[in-house]
């Protein structure tokens, strides 16, 4: 069921996609403004319901990408961006790697973490996460998921993946 709030959010995101250029680091002259919709599919989820920066069990909200629902192709990359906050990797040794607002990797299962803590912005309250598939052969991006992260009083940060373009 589409609610009025979800419809407004979807329209806002679509407007941002049309207006905003260069939202990720340019590679092969592509950005989310040149997105196409094709048959690439993946699942994007999170394993926690909410996140507080004081939690010691995780460095941020996990953004878990499952590519097993699609045939693997060497001609594809994952592109994950955040308009605010910061993306992180957390390796097996517990080391945290700061990615800023963008992560580009091979098209394979991956987990990236989002944190509201930044050096420049301080503690952000709202952010938009975009997960896209970059087709190297077509030189185009397919935007698969858009998630809205927001701070809910008394509960912490939550992510809503209800805004889907595909």
pTM of the predicted structure, to 2 decimals? 0.70
Is the pLDDT higher at 61 or at 70? 61
Residue-wise pLDDT for 85-120, tens only, equals 999 999 989 999 999 899 999 888 899 999 998 888
Q: Which runs of E-coded beta strand occur in 46-125?
A: 61-66, 76-82, 86-90, 96-100, 102-106, 110-115, 117-118, 122-123
Query: What share of the chain in percent tops pLDDT 90?
Result: 35
Query: What share of the chain in percent tops pLDDT 70?
Result: 68
pLDDT for residue 41 is more than 80: no
Residue-wise pLDDT for 146-159, tens only, equals 889 999 998 999 99
Question: What number is the average pLDDT over the span 47-62?
Answer: 90
Domain limits at 36? 4-164
Is the pLDDT higher at 6 or at 55? 55
pLDDT for residue 6 is more than 60: no
Q: What value does the mean pLDDT of the chain take?
A: 74
Q: Which of 20-34, 37-51, 66-80 has the lowest mean pLDDT?
A: 20-34
Q: Give the separation between CA 139 and CA 143, rounded to whole angstroms.
A: 13
Residue-wise pLDDT for 132-148, tens only, equals 888 888 888 777 788 89
Report which of 96, 95, 78, 74 is spatially closest to residue 87, judged by C-alpha positions: 96
Residue-wise pLDDT for 64-85, tens only, equals 998 765 555 568 889 999 999 9
Q: Is the Cβ–Cβ distance between 18 and 144 less than 8 Å? A: no
Number of domains in the chain: 1
CATH number at residue 109: 2.60.40
């Amino acid at each position: 069921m589409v609610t009025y709030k979800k419809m407004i959010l979807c329209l806002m995101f679509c407007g941002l996609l049309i207006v905003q250029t260069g939202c990720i680091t340019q590679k092969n002259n592509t950005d989310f403004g040149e997105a196409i919709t094709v048959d690439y599919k993946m699942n994007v989820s999170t394993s926690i319901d909410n996140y507080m920066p004081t939690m010691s069990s995780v460095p941020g909200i996990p953004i878990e990408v499952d590519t097993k629902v699609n045939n693997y192709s060497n001609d594809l990359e994952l592109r994950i961006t955040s308009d605010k906050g910061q993306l992180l990797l957390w390796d097996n040794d517990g080391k945290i790697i700061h990615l800023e607002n963008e992560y580009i990797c091979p098209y394979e299962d991956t987990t990236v973490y989002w944190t509201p803590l930044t050096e420049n912005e301080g503690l952000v309250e709202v952010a938009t996460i975009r997960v896209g598939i970059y087709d190297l052969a077509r030189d185009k991006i397919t935007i698969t998921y858009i998630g809205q992260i927001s701070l809910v009083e008394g509960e912490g940060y939550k992510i809503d993946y209800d805004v889907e373009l595909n």
